Structure 1
């Protein structure tokens, strides 16, 4: 099946959304019991963590951890936003800077200015989008980012989205309550799919859509740590408590360039493999043998693939043993936990 399909259904009673590209599973969102990224709390400072420059906070969902706490004292109240999922036994990661993100716009309190996504290069369209903002809001109280999805969107839809996000921001920021409280819950999978999967696609909402479109079969294959690479090579991705290990193998290819080809194939496939399995944190790549002169090209290919991914991943560097280290944001829970 050619083209893009977004399937909205449930897995094991959990709301879920699947993004299929040419019949293959490209992305998968599954609801969890943990606070979703984007959730906004009124939190209460509890106790500082010496040596880490952070503070534990009290929230309705348990302890949260905030870095960069200059000027904060126990008992202070502040707005914070969940930035990712916590490791087992650790506090919820939060940030003091809150954002209100939707399909077309991002409202950024305390960061004034109107910015248009750099991926929109048409000057006439950029001017049209700025006009939409000024026609919609007389006095702009917060910063606004117009997302890349605005490039082909209807101006009325953008204006409606902008008004909705500004209204939400005002409601949250004007809160005058006290004590730990959830002021806004992060988006569930169906809404998150609408927000972030903006390219034209067929939308399937009927019950049983996952089975009809092969999503369940694709999810079942993700339980196997092995995944095939182009050219007959393959890799294993296996999470441990400390890190995620990725092992690359050349398969039946015994040519002089087998290792290089397998590693470049991994560079292209790795973001999807990690994204679908919900893996983050420290990633260590045990690559197939290849000449040192090919390292720079591999690094370039891997960085390009990571930039195109929706989850932030930093290329840390090479180890003395020739391994590659990455640091990936814990934007999702591991698939194994959600299906367990």
Structure 2
């Protein structure tokens, strides 16, 4: 059973996706900030760096955005040059250019931008100038993939591309055509505004967090959407009525005496998921240490002693750990490189089953994630696309005492006054 729980607050609104009673995804939006990933700007090139094959673009934010040459070259493989030209052949200082934010500003770094535009809709994603049709890999039925691809070829604009989303599985051609018409109108309107706008200028903003997540998450597999604010429930209900009227009765207003996140056990689960030591159901535990470059996860047997032999005990621990790691990567929205130190296993088939378990559990993740495999040192490498700051950066702050190390200095050392 899937349930979406929405909390509206003046300080920060949040959305929780629950699967069979367990917290699977959690999102927070600060009204003063808002997400910029997906926004399209008319910017001005302020600096071109041939040595880095990159340029910096002023899009009106505090820091200039970073544009790499791969995000300038044509997205279609057939149109890409065999040898990359110098970026000075593609852009120049002072040039005005349309770009889309693909990665939020993080720390001291500005936003990462691209000229490979994507406009998401309910069933489709429009890719201006891409000229191809792709079907979500999560749709596994080959006949259905072929049907959707054929529809996509019929409805896509000339020279543009589309991605058919997972939720479009078994959807009729009429629904996909309506979505295509809406997205095409949005792009045409954006281009018209770009012709007269003075850089830097925001030309397109994706939906706010809550309407966007309703669009992306709410489907027939979600049994109910709980909102703790009546007025907002009406707005979301109107969105769903236009998007999927048959699901409108699944929107419900929460009116209980305690906060909605407490009522559904979300706060408790969230607090447990963000501890450094995470206990597994069998008594084993994980230790998670985020660093600036990567995240390290250590697996330990803890209280679990098994019943057969050491190899079986270790294997069972690693299998349960693999499932929990996949859930935590998604829930904590950890991005970049992840290194997992599973407990050493003697049998190769057990190592293969552990990575298979990771890959299977990670299919639920909407963010691109890849299990790279085992290193020579017996560690598992994972990469997960990083688009925005991890959730812990929004929910926690660096300790003023330990400076983020997790260890406080000793105030009175032996032999010192």
TM-score (norm 2): 0.72
Q: Is the 8 A contact 2:144 2:170 kept in 1?
A: no
Q: Is the 8 A contact 1:45 1:56 kept in 2?
A: yes
Question: How many equivalent residue pairs?
Answer: 336
Q: Which has the higher contact order (CA 8 A, sep 6+)?
A: 1
**Structure 1: which 5+ residue stretches go unaligned?**
none
Deviation at 1:108, TM superposition (A): 0.9
Match in the other structure for 1:13? 11
SS at match of 1:82: strand
Match in the other structure for 1:219? 270
Q: Is the 8 A contact 2:101 2:114 kept in 1?
A: yes
| Aligned pairs for 1:1-340 within 5 A | 3-10=1-8, 13-32=11-30, 33=33, 35-61=35-61, 62-68=63-69, 70=87, 71-117=90-136, 119=139, 121=141, 123=143, 127=147, 140=158, 142-153=160-171, 157-174=175-192, 175-176=194-195, 177-197=197-217, 198-201=219-222, 202-207=224-229, 208-254=259-305, 255-257=309-311, 258-291=313-346, 293=348, 294-340=350-396
Q: Kindly tell me: are residues 15 and 140 of structure 1, through their superposed partners in 2, closer, same or farther at Cα, counting changes over 3 Å?
A: farther
Q: Is the 8 A contact 1:86 1:330 kept in 2?
A: no
Q: Kindly tell me: are residues 248 and 232 of structure 1, through their superposed partners in 2, closer, same or farther at Cα, counting changes over 3 Å?
A: same
Q: Kindly tell me: are residues 157 and 209 of structure 1, through their superposed partners in 2, closer, same or farther at Cα, counting changes over 3 Å?
A: farther
Deviates more, 1:249-258 or 1:14-23: 249-258
Tell me which protein shows more strand as a share of its residues. Answer: 1
Deviation at 1:20, TM superposition (A): 0.9
Q: Distance in 1 between matches of 2:141 and 2:371?
A: 28
Structure showing greater Rg:
2
Deviation at 1:320, TM superposition (A): 4.1
- Please give the root-mean-square deviation of Cα atoms over the aligned residues, in Å: 2.8
TM-score (norm 1): 0.86
Q: Is the 8 A contact 1:235 1:246 kept in 2?
A: yes
Q: Distance in 1 between matches of 2:144 and 2:106?
A: 46
Q: Distance in 2 between matches of 1:51 and 1:305?
A: 41
Deviates more, 1:58-67 or 1:215-224: 215-224
Deviates more, 1:35-44 or 1:301-310: 301-310
SS at match of 1:192: helix
**Structure 2: which 5+ residue stretches go unaligned?**
73-86, 230-258, 397-417
